[in-house]
Structure 1
Amino acid sequence: MTPALDATIRSVSLQGCPVLGAIGLQLRAGAWTAIVGPNGAGKSTLLRTLAGLQACDGEVRLHGRPILQWPAKARSRELAWLGQNESGADDLRAHDVVMLGRLPHQAWLAAPSAGDRAAVEQAMRRTQCWAWRERTLGSLSGGERQRVLLARALAVQAPVLLMDEPLAHLDPPHQADWLDVVHALVAGGVTVASVLHELNVALQADALVVMAQGRVVHHGAPDDRATHAALQRVFEHRLRLHSLDGQWIALPHTAHGAPMLSETTR
Structure 2
Amino acid sequence: MSAERPALSAQDLQVRLGGRLIVDVPALALPSGRWTAVVGPNGAGKTTLLKALAHLLPAHGQVQLNGRDIQQWPGKARARAMAWLGQSEPGADDLLAHDVAMLGRLPHQPWLGAPSAEDRAAVERAMRQTQCWDWRERPLGQLSGGERQRVLLARALAVEAQVLLMDEPLANLDAPHQADWLLTVRALVAAGRTVVSVLHELGMALQADELLVLERGRVVHQGPSTDPSSHAALRAVFEHRIALHQVAGQWVVLPH
Q: Please report the TM-score for the alignment, with normalisation by the length of structure 2.
A: 0.97
> Pick from 142, 147, 156: which aligns with 1:139?
142
1:243 aligns with 2:246: yes
- Which amino acid is 1:192 matched to? V
Tell me how large the CA RMSD over aligned residues is: 0.8
| Offset at residue 184 of structure 1 (A) | 0.2
Residues 1:88 and 2:91 are matched in the alignment = yes
Q: Which runs of 5+ in 1 are unaligned?
A: 254-266
**What secondary structure does 1:45 align onto?**
helix
Quick one: which of 97, 117, 141 aligns to 2:120? 117
Equivalent residue letter for 1:108: W
The CA deviation at 1:60 is 0.4
The answer on 1:226 being equivalent to 2:235 is no
SS across alignment from 2:55: coil
For 2:111 and 2:235, how far apart are their aligned partners in 1? 51
> Is 2:36 aligned against 1:24?
no
- Identify the match of residue 48 of structure 1 among 43, 47, 51: 51
How far did 1:35 drift? Answer: 0.1
TM-superposed deviation, 1:191: 0.3
Q: Which residue of 155, 163, 168 corresponds with 1:165? A: 168
Q: Deviations over 1:26-53 (max 9, x none)?
A: 1100000000000000000000011111
Partner of 2:185: 182
Residue 71 (structure 2) aligns with: 68
Secondary structure at the counterpart of residue 188 of structure 2: helix
Instruction: Give the aligned partner of residue 204 of structure 1.
Output: 207
Q: In 2, are the aligned partners of 1:9 and 1:56 still within 8 Å (CA)? A: no
Ranges in structure 2 where 5+ consecutive residues have no aligned partner: none
1:201-245 alpha-carbon deviations (Å, 9 max, x no partner): 000000000011110100011111111111111001011111112
Superposed displacement of residue 22, structure 1: 3.1
**1:23 and 1:122 mapped to 2: Cα distance?**
39
Q: CA deviation at 1:15?
A: 2.2
**3-state SS, counterpart of residue 22 of structure 1:** strand
Shift of residue 181, structure 1, vs aligned partner: 0.3
Equivalent-residue separation in structure 2 for 1:234 and 1:23 (angstroms)? 19
Contact 2:13-2:63 within 8 A present in 1 as well = no
| Equivalenced residues, count | 253
For the 8 Å contact 2:169–2:199, the answer to whether it is kept is yes
